[in-house]
Chain A
Amino acid sequence: MAERGVLGLFTSAEAAASAGAALREAGVEFEVLTGSPYPEGAFGEHTPPHRLYVFPLVGALCGFSVAILLTAGTQLAYPLVTGGKPVLSIPPMAIITYEGTMLGAILFTVLGVLFESRLPRPLLGLYDKRITLEGWIGILVRGEEGLLGPVERILREHGAVEIKRG
């Protein structure tokens, strides 16, 4: 097991929430594992800020420049006159550039989502299937042996049905 930590499993959200609050008072950093999204801060946890909004902007810029180069370049590389239209026709370039921009934005957004949610993650680490299967809620604390003891006690006090050590 890669990480040293303790995972407390709760059957009810209320219990997990109170446990989270208790840990917070104790000043212990913890992570919540759930099988479905809960409103932010439902367990008194705090989630670090993310930089997702940067990704689509960067992606859009990349896509835009690539598309401009491609459309302008291919028209000028072999200047064939068609239909009396200018060799460098702006409106068609605008259309393809638009698509390129959006493609870049989408690709980078997906990358950003994976990166910001720290995926892919080679090892699952401390985890329990019943989180997705039964809707149990896991509260995970990483740290040294000395810390984990009291944490485990807090978790049990607030009704953890099972404790996993790693």
Chain B
Amino acid sequence: MSEARVPSQPATPPDPQPARRRHKWTMVVDLDRCTGCQACVVACQAENNIPLNTEAIYLQYRVIEWIRIERYWEKHGEEVRARYIPLLCQQCDNAPCEPVCPVYATYHNVEGLNVQVYNRCVGTRYCANNCPYHARFFNFWQPVWPSTLENQLNPDVTVRWRGIMEKCTFCIQRIRRAQREAAQEGRSLQDGDVVPACVQACPTDALSFGDILDPNSRVSRLAKDKRAYTVLKELGTGPNVIYLAKVDPYAPAPKKHDHH
């Protein structure tokens, strides 16, 4: 039986496809730098043809934000502090959302990305239920843009249809372009070639993106920081988004559910 090979320390899950793997894209979020300014949210909106989140949509709880700023309050004795944590699809190695899809509309590709196949999706919404990070978004309505905005749609990104699921792709279109350009120049990808929209837009440089398999890439170095932790570690989803805890006399030690 395959389960017989379960390791006794599964916090780092077995790599399902080590042979074919060339990259393992990873993002590092330094919470000490994040100011919750939402620039990343806007940049993502513009880059990925995300439908407009009007007031009505907000009131329906049907916002689509591939990256969002989670706001929560930390109470320390008398004073209450606002805390921000940018949350996006964690591109989990053991993504709970993948196996539950009946039609293989989402699966794990060799670059460690959790990809969504729009035209396979029938919209059972099971993946959204099974995503602990609330990182999957459903097109309840047919997305429409005012005619003035139609020309700003990104030609590299599919415009989704109603009734299907979507989520952060780590700007896979930019990854592909970087790879193409590298190939044309006959060189291999270097660290910093791939810059997702949110990373590009972050004014405080709180977000960094790269290939964790490259030992001297920026994310590899940051991931070794002692502040590094992953969200909801106890679920064993193996996220590829690594957070660096806030440096703060009040900040709790990096452990699970530091939302209180």
Contacts and interface: CB of A to CB of B under 8 A. Distances in A.
Is A–B contact present in the complex under a CB 8 A cutoff? yes
Interface of A: 78, 80-91
A90 B238 contact: no
Contacts of A80: 104, 107-108
A81 B107 contact: yes
Contacts of B17: 81
Q: Top 5 nearest A-B pairs by Cβ distance? A: A82-B98, A83-B99, A84-B94, A86-B2, A83-B98
A112 B99 CA distance: 39
A83 B92 CA distance: 8
Contacts of A83: 94-100, 108
Interface in B193-238: 238
**A contacts with B: majority SS:** loop
Contacts of B94: 83-84
Contacts of B192: none
A91 B14 CA distance: 18
Contacts, number: 44
A85 B17 CA distance: 11
B85 interface: no
B93 interface: yes
**B contacts with A: majority SS:** loop
Contacts of B97: 83
Query: Which of A84, A89, A91 has the most chain B CB within a 10 Å cutoff?
Result: A84
Interface of B: 1-3, 13-14, 16-17, 93-101, 104, 106-108, 238
Nearest to A89: B2
Contacts of B3: 90-91
Contacts of B16: 81, 84, 86-87
A80 to B, nearest CB: 4
Contacts of B14: 84
Contacts of A88: 2
30 contacts: A80-B104, A80-B108, A81-B17, A81-B98, A81-B107, A81-B108, A82-B98, A82-B99, A82-B101, A82-B104, A82-B108, A83-B95, A83-B96, A83-B97, A83-B98, A83-B99, A83-B100, A83-B108, A84-B13, A84-B14, A84-B16, A84-B95, A84-B108, A84-B238, A85-B99, A86-B2, A88-B2, A89-B99, A90-B2, A90-B3
Query: Which of A80, A81, A82, A90 has the most chain B CB within a 10 Å cutoff?
Result: A82
B238 A82 contact: no
Given A84-B16, A89-B2, 4 more contacts: A80-B107, A84-B94, A84-B95, A84-B238
Nearest to B110: A81
A78 to B, nearest CB: 8
A149 to B, nearest CB: 71
Query: Which of B13, B16, B93, B100 has the most chain A CB within a 10 Å cutoff?
Result: B16
Contacts of B1: 90
Nearest to A86: B2
A83 B97 CA distance: 7
A68 to B, nearest CB: 15
Nearest to A85: B99
A86 B5 CA distance: 10
A82 B2 contact: no
Contacts of A87: 16
A82 B17 CA distance: 11
Nearest to B101: A82
A163 B111 CA distance: 86
A80 B103 CA distance: 11
Contacts of B95: 82-84
Contacts of A82: 95, 98-99, 101, 104, 106-108
Nearest to B14: A84
A89 B16 CA distance: 13
B235 to A, nearest CB: 12
Nearest to A82: B98
B206 to A, nearest CB: 28
